[in-house]
Amino acid sequence: MFAHTLIQALALAVTIGATQGDPPLPAGLRSLPPHEVVAQLLSKRTDLGLSWQQTAQLDSLHLAIRSEKHRYTREGLKAHQLRHVRMISREEAFGQAVAVLTPEQQSRLEALFPAAPRAVRRVRGAPGKP
């Protein structure tokens, strides 16, 4: 049963990832692990007005990301020549979670989690000049 849910969530993730780019990650979610990014959206389900289907999709995505195992591929003929397969990033997790939302819910999400202000970079002149 769990494996079936995991396969569905990963299939959904692959489909969504192939169809659109990931939206920018809000500043308040940048320090969280990927599965906690999805959990934060789930915690705002009443504010976002999520349906029970959307809640179930986000919950299965959260569980799939949280239980993601480290995987390795073999690069050579020797047993010790292994390479780590990249795990889902917090940006990808956020993108997959946002793809479940309707456009109206996405605008509510932007109000709940404002994007980080861009850093203003000051250009200094040559020494001795103001």
pLDDT in tens, 71-113: 989 888 887 888 999 999 999 999 999 999 999 999 999 989 8
> Within a domain: residue 128?
no
> Within a domain: residue 104?
yes
> Within a domain: residue 41?
yes
> Within a domain: residue 119?
no
Number of separate domains in the chain = 1
Q: What is the overall mean pLDDT for the chain?
A: 80
Question: Quick check: 49 pLDDT over 80?
Answer: yes
> Within a domain: residue 8?
yes
> Within a domain: residue 90?
yes
> Within a domain: residue 126?
no
Domain that holds residue 44: 2-73+81-112
Q: What confidence score (pLDDT) does residue 19 get? A: 45
Cβ contacts of 65 within 8 Å, gap of 6 or more: 34, 35, 38, 88, 93
Q: What pTM does this model have?
A: 0.69
Q: Roughly what angle, to the nearest 10 degrees, separates helices 52-66 and 34-43? A: 160
